[in-house]
Amino acid sequence: MADAKGDEVLAETQMPLGRWPILSYGVGHMLNDITSACWFTYLLLFLQEIGLAPRDAAIVMLSGQAADGLMTILAGEMIDRFGHFKLWHIGGSVLVGISFSSVFGGCLLCTILGTDSYLVRTVGYSFFAAVFNIGWAATQVSHMSMVNCMTLNSTSRVALASCRNAFTMVANLGLYGIALTVFALVSAKACSDIVLQYRWIAYVSIFVGCCFLVVFYAGTKEPTLQSGTDCKKSSRISWGYWFKKTLYYQVALLYMLARLITNVSQSLIAFYVTRDLRMNEYSKAIIPAIIFCCSFLVSVVLQEIKWNSRRLKSLLTIGAILWVISGVAVFVLPSQRNNLMYPLAMVIGAANALVMVTTIGLESSLVGDDLNGSAFVYGSLSFLDKMSCGIALFVLESYEESISCGETRGLNTVSRYGTGLIPSCFAVVALIVTSTLKLQDTPTRRPHSSAALEAPLLV
């Protein structure tokens, strides 16, 4: 009787998921995605507009990244042990909403202590940046690791990851649409007006993200596979299992490099287009929007490809090469030719899509059917991503000079290096690592172990 019931459950979990469960799951990361887009694009600019020096603004960013990285490891371990994906997701989302509004809403610690000293402001913003990233990590790891425990059907797993990726693009485009609207409605005649613009962007972003969370919680059930035959606690995979895999280190390095390329360039592009290329303030929304539009379109095209190891490596190589070319072009582009930034943004968007989609595909291929270790893999790789990005931005901003509102700069600037040349260097390293990959198109241990290479990454 027990065996028959287990076979029935197993058969049910191998059936394809319907459109509604896939859609409701896909929107579950919208709050994270839209606040993350705002965080990486406008946080450093916002903190410097309110009076923090570039180095101290980078400290705020680094404190958040460090907290995020540590939380990904903790969340991954706890979720692998105890499950309760939605509980972690809810708790993380609450922290994200409260802390994000506190960072862009003003120095709450200054209000509590009744002082507006520079040190208290730096500490206050750093604290809430850490809280924001702790909540963000809990939400991210729980949401990503749900995929392998929601279904055993490889096509449905691809569809879940694809839908999540599609709404990541929607969130980013939505953020820049909100920013463009705010820039048009709230005129920036003084630095205080610029600060007000960013606060409105943050508040509207939280509201939109929370609306999508309602859909996620209403339409997504708590995954049951973590208590079933393929996810028993007694069979939880130890960390050492992954550390013995060469592919783990290769995928970790490639994922870290991909995130460095996209996040470092995204964090400094608002500085680059307004202060280096001397474009108008609308460019702070238009250029990033072009990048994400092209990323989305390329991602849609990628769904038509039948994936295998050769194509995976080839497209990752193409994406890295495009970044090498476009990064160098961004670095040498003079302000008199700033109109060339529009086609360059299109190339960058295509390169971002190729790099990110293929590295995420490598993550899925690495996990395979090792369900009880999936949260650790996503958490540990995210840890590398967050720490490396935080350190990279801190080092770059340490060489940045303070600048008054409306002041322009010379050609040899940190934002030129961070938006162009340094991501190109990361892309060169990615090319080298990609050439060492040895992937298999046929399963070697379990029947679904290479499913990520047998179906489109985006549907």
Which tens digits make up the pLDDT trace of 50-70?
A: 888 888 988 998 899 899 888
Once rounded to an integer, what is the mean pLDDT over residues 249-254?
91
Q: pTM score > 0.85 for this model?
A: no
Banded pLDDT at 456 (limits 50, 70, 90) = very low
Note whether 386 and 72 are within 8 A (CB). yes
Question: Can you state the angle between helices 85-105 and 54-82, rounded to 10 degrees?
Answer: 170
From CA 291, how far away is CA 422, in angstroms rounded?
Answer: 18
Instruction: Report domain extents, the chain.
Output: 21-225+237-453
Backbone conformation region of residue 209, classed left if phi is above 0, alpha if psi is from -120 to 50, else beta: alpha
From CA 268, how far away is CA 126, in angstroms rounded?
Answer: 19
* Burial letters 7-25, b for 16+ CB under 10 A, else e: eeeeeebeeebeeebbbbb
Q: Kindly report the average pLDDT of the chain as a whole number.
A: 81
Which pLDDT value is given to residue 296? 82
Domain 21-225+237-453, architecture per CATH: Up-down Bundle (1.20)
Element of type H or E holding 256: helix 246-271
Which pLDDT value is given to residue 111? 81
Once rounded to an integer, what is the mean pLDDT over residues 203-225?
87
Which tens digits make up the pLDDT trace of 105-149?
A: 888 788 888 787 888 888 999 999 999 999 998 998 888 878 777
Place of tokens 């991602």: 299
Q: Which two tokens stand for residue 313?
A: 């490596």
* Burial letters 218-241, b for 16+ CB under 10 A, else e: ebbeebebbebebbeeeeebeeee
Q: How far lies 52's CA from each of 83, 134, 280, 303, in Å?
A: 41, 23, 23, 44
Residues in CB range of 395: below 8 A, 6 or more apart = none
